Amino acid sequence: MPIRHLDVTTWYLEQREPADLRPARREPEVPVDIVRAEVPSPELSRFLYTAVGGDWYWVDRLAWSYDQWRNWLGRPGVETWIAHVRGTPAGYVELDPQADGEVEIVCFGLLPAFHGRGVGGHLLATGAARAWDLAERWPARKPTSRVWLHTCSNDGPAALGNYQARGFRVYDTKVETEAVGHTPPGPWPGARPPGRLTRP
């Protein structure tokens, strides 16, 4: 496949205090349960990563070994919160605690079947709230002083608006040219059904 060069815009967003967080504007169309996966599981986290990010160039972790996944997930304070609809995983939030009380929302998104049903705003609001109260579950950590994340123009088209609607503010923007030699891989080779959205 020929190499294409894409201009990719990356937005960095933050909340500086819990009061910045705004709840979702509407309730999900379906009942949603959001629970923490308290036992680190490389198998589960890799499934979520590929199922959510497969259509959006989430490829950085595809080559990770089992030990890399286990070491990442096993660090104190790393949390995975999963939205379930009638028992089925619908999306997730992954929190990464950093120095000086900062918490990054490293991964966030929905499986394709749950887009447009009000789940994303609810899940993001819950995930951000859990970032703010993370030290309550990890007493060795400092209280959260800042919650931040980044998204880019290769992510889902609703991502940036959802973050801003939940009270995240853009504090930096970068545009870089990236060499891309493939289309988004989907959750596994051959999984993309006909008509599934692909990025140009």
Q: Is residue 47 part of a domain?
A: yes
CA 158/CA 59 separation, integer angstroms: 20
CA 82/CA 85 separation, integer angstroms: 10
Query: What is the predicted pLDDT for the residue at 22?
Result: 95
**CATH code assigned at 27:** 3.40.630.30
Query: What is the predicted pLDDT for the residue at 103?
Result: 98
CA 104/CA 144 separation, integer angstroms: 10
CA atoms within 13 A on the CB side of 3: 4
Q: How many domains does the chain have?
A: 1
DSSP category for residue 160 = H
Q: Is residue 162 part of a domain?
A: yes
Q: Give the structural domain span for 137.
A: 4-180
Q: Is residue 192 part of a domain?
A: no
Per-residue pLDDT of 37-69, as tens digits, reads: 999 999 999 999 999 988 887 888 989 999 999
Q: Is residue 199 part of a domain?
A: no
Q: Is residue 188 part of a domain?
A: no
Residue-averaged pLDDT of the chain: 89
Q: Chain centroid to CA 123: how far? A: 10
Give the predicted TM-score (pTM) of the model. 0.89
Q: Is residue 106 part of a domain?
A: yes
Query: What is the predicted pLDDT for the residue at 198?
Result: 39
Q: Is residue 139 part of a domain?
A: yes
State how far the alpha carbon of 111 is from the alpha carbons of 56, 125, 157, 172, 190, in Å.
Answer: 11, 17, 14, 28, 17
Helix (H) or strand (E) holding 102: strand 102-110
| Residue 64 neighbours by CB distance under 10 Å | 16
Q: Is residue 66 part of a domain?
A: yes
